[in-house]
Amino acid sequence: DGGITQSPKYLFRKEGQNVTLSCEQNLNHDAMYWYRQDPGQGLRLIYYSQIVNDFQKGDIAEGYSVSREKKESFPLTVTSAQKNPTAFYLCASSMRGGGSGANVLTFGAGSRLTVL
């Protein structure tokens, strides 16, 4: 079945540690996105990539890093510089770039990160 796979589903991190969240898609979509969701709030865009080897900062990129070495994969690293990383992280993809509004987003099931 085509879709987006995020792992791990739950992750615990000690303060000062970097962690990497995985996002893999087999939809042959060009564009991929990372969003952060906090309780009672909408989704906020962290990073997005419209094509392999290229990515742009979203609204809240500080303390995060990404890579896009393969079309299928868009991992997100939450670094120790992110002061409040506890949140629900959602990866999404769309058929082509040109901004996420140009297309419908397909989301993964999410990864919940908790800082101990």
Partner 1 sequence: SQQGEEDPQALSIQEGENATMNCSYKTSINNLQWYRQNSGRGLVHLILIRSNEREKHSGRLRVTLDTSKKSSSLLITASRAADTASYFCATASLEYGNKLVFGAGTILRVKS
Residues in contact with partner 1 by CB under 8 A are: 4, 6, 35, 40-45, 48, 58, 88, 90, 92, 98-102, 104-110, 112
Q: Smallest distance from the beta carbon of 44 to partner 1, in angstroms?
A: 8
Unique residue bearing structure tokens 């393969």: 70
Q: Smallest distance from the beta carbon of 14 to partner 1, in angstroms?
A: 23
Nearer to partner 1, 59 or 62 (CB): 59
Nearer to partner 1, 81 or 102 (CB): 102
3-class SS at 33? strand
Contact status, residue 74 vs residue 23, Cβ threshold 8 Å:
yes
Nearer to partner 1, 33 or 82 (CB): 33
Q: What is the spatial distance between Cα 110 and Cα 59, in angstroms, rounded to a whole number?
A: 19
Q: Smallest distance from the beta carbon of 82 to partner 1, in angstroms?
A: 20
**Secondary structure letter of residue 27 according to DSSP:** S
Q: Smallest distance from the beta carbon of 34 to partner 1, in angstroms?
A: 12
* Count of beta carbons in the 10 Å neighbourhood of residue 107: 15
3-class SS at 101? helix
